Structure 1
Amino acid sequence: MSEYIERPSPNHDQRSRPISMIVLHYTDMLSAEEAIERLCDPAAGVSAHYLVTKSGEVVRMVPEERRAWHAGRSYWRGLTNVNDDSIGIEIDNPGHSNGYEPFPDAQVEAVVRLVADIKQRHHITRGNVVGHSDVAPARKRDPGELFPWGQLARLRLALPRPTKNLMDPCWTEAGFLLALERFGYDVSDKMAAIIAFQRRFRPELIDGEIDAECRMILLALLLPRPQGDE
């Protein structure tokens, strides 16, 4: 991609690890401009590499080679403090705090183009294109259950929700949590980890309960090639 609105943020520093992840967020604020101002405010101490507006404009704030401050205390697949490893994309949306709403088509299309470009340039795997709630389940809910992960999955930009050849492994709660940790989640807060998993892979029912459907989805995700409606 070459068409960006440049709004440089001073909030960045040096990476200590190579880029291997993309983390998607929502802004959780009432307007894109309000979010941009905060992400560029030295006193706020937060930032992101990109912000995508509702109309599909892409704002670039931090160079990719620098570490933006978007994920906070986080964990994914053995990596802590994933700011070191990731590119952060903020998506303009009021979030659960301010009247959470669906993401407009133009915005989703822009996110898809941006993710595809970053993923290709940095050779990022589908399993490392994640939401903020995936890497910080005890603290965050974004980009939330309305985000159309399926559109990204159909373009092989994220893991699909498995729908084929599902089998229930009949894990105990401890077995499910062990599998969830193996997949990538921090399970130190058990309920938060289950809810984050559901928000991402079973968004129509987020109840924190481990049921057969959750077990089947997770088992399929642990297979070498999860099969969904791609």
Structure 2
Amino acid sequence: MSGLPAPDCRLAAKVVPSPNQGERRDARRPDMIVLHYTGMPGAASALQRLCNPLAEVSSHYLVLEDGRIFQLVPESARAWHAGVSNWAGDTDLNSASIGIEIVNPGHDGGYPDFPEAQVAATSALCADIAARWGIPPQRVLAHSDIAPRRKADPGEKFPWRRLHRDGVGHWVEPTPPGDGRAFARGDEGQPVQALQAMFAMYGYGLDVTGVFDEATEAVVRAFQRHFRQELVDGVADRSTLTTLRDLLRALPASAA
């Protein structure tokens, strides 16, 4: 690190205004970054959709495969990217967040790796936004984190470890999958209740019922896509539990 301030990535972004925006409710300042993949064949189709008033969807930024960045909505405005979502009890995440769409066809389109130029640009953009708005690492999230029953993006191929090395996002080295007690759909009891409470404590929108239901499985999958990418199966095995525990221990005291 040079010790110099990070460049303002907005200066390098091409401005392509999207009409799909509004005012942040209650004059909120953004305190969260949400990363998506576009899930569309390419950049042109994604840009067209994000700027189509009939689509009623947008993001603040779009990052292309070659690292070019388009700014579609000013950071001070409310883009329409989060949809029905929840994090730490907050359900108006469009007002709370800055949304970044990353061009990738997604799971239904072959799900290629994210190119290095794109990852580097996304990482620099996130670092820039977080520095200017004071967004803490644990508030840099995946779309699947805030909407686990609906979304899988940016998915298990997105290099969260790399972003953390660049100073972006919350991360601990995951415990490798292995033997040990696991919890899965249909299990019930106090251990499941404790598991759900841990996920809720981290921020996931999950009711503590003591029943490992569809919602719990969706949260486990979302967690694995972000923090334990080696195996995404929705089963809360020892690796998942240990990684979650370590993340909770690594939270700043003010966030725990």
Is the structural similarity TM-score above 0.5?
yes
Instruction: Quote the Cα distance in structure 2 between the aligned partners of 1:162 and 1:106.
Output: 24
Q: Are 1:213 and 2:239 matched, yes or no?
A: yes
Query: Could you say which residue in structure 1 is the equivalent of 2:63?
Result: 52
2:87 corresponds to which of 76, 100, 110: 76
Instruction: Quote the Cα distance in structure 1 between the aligned partners of 2:61 and 2:236.
Output: 35
Structure 1 residues 6-43: Cα deviation after superposition (integer angstroms, max 9, x where no partner)? 11000000102221000000000001010000000000
Query: Could you say which residue in structure 1 is the equivalent of 2:38?
Result: 27
The 1:225/1:77 distance shift into structure 2, 3 A limit, reads closer
Matched letter for residue 180 of structure 1: F
- Report which stretch shifted further, 91-100 or 180-189: 180-189
Instruction: Quote the Cα distance in structure 2 between the aligned partners of 1:71 and 1:205.
Output: 26
Q: Are 1:37 and 2:63 matched, yes or no?
A: no
Instruction: Quote the Cα distance in structure 2 between the aligned partners of 1:76 and 1:153.
Output: 20
1:4 corresponds to which of 13, 36, 53: 13
SS class of match (1:187): coil
Moved over 6 A (4+): none
Q: Are 1:125 and 2:144 matched, yes or no?
A: no
Query: Could you say which residue in structure 2 is the equivalent of 1:183?
Result: 202
CA contact (8 A) 2:174 2:239 kept: no
Matched letter for residue 207 of structure 1: D
CA contact (8 A) 2:13 2:70 kept: yes
Matched letter for residue 83 of structure 2: G
Q: How many residues align?
A: 223
Q: Please, what is the CA RMSD of the aligned residues?
A: 1.8
SS class of match (1:130): strand
- Report which stretch shifted further, 48-57 or 200-209: 200-209
The structural deviation recorded for 1:172 is 1.4
The structural deviation recorded for 1:79 is 1.1
CA contact (8 A) 2:16 2:71 kept: yes
**Runs of at least 5 residues in structure 2 that lack an aligned partner in the other structure:** 1-8, 183-189, 208-214
2:155 corresponds to which of 140, 144, 155: 144
Instruction: Quote the Cα distance in structure 2 between the aligned partners of 1:225 and 1:79.
Output: 19
Query: Could you say which residue in structure 2 is the equivalent of 1:87?
Result: 98
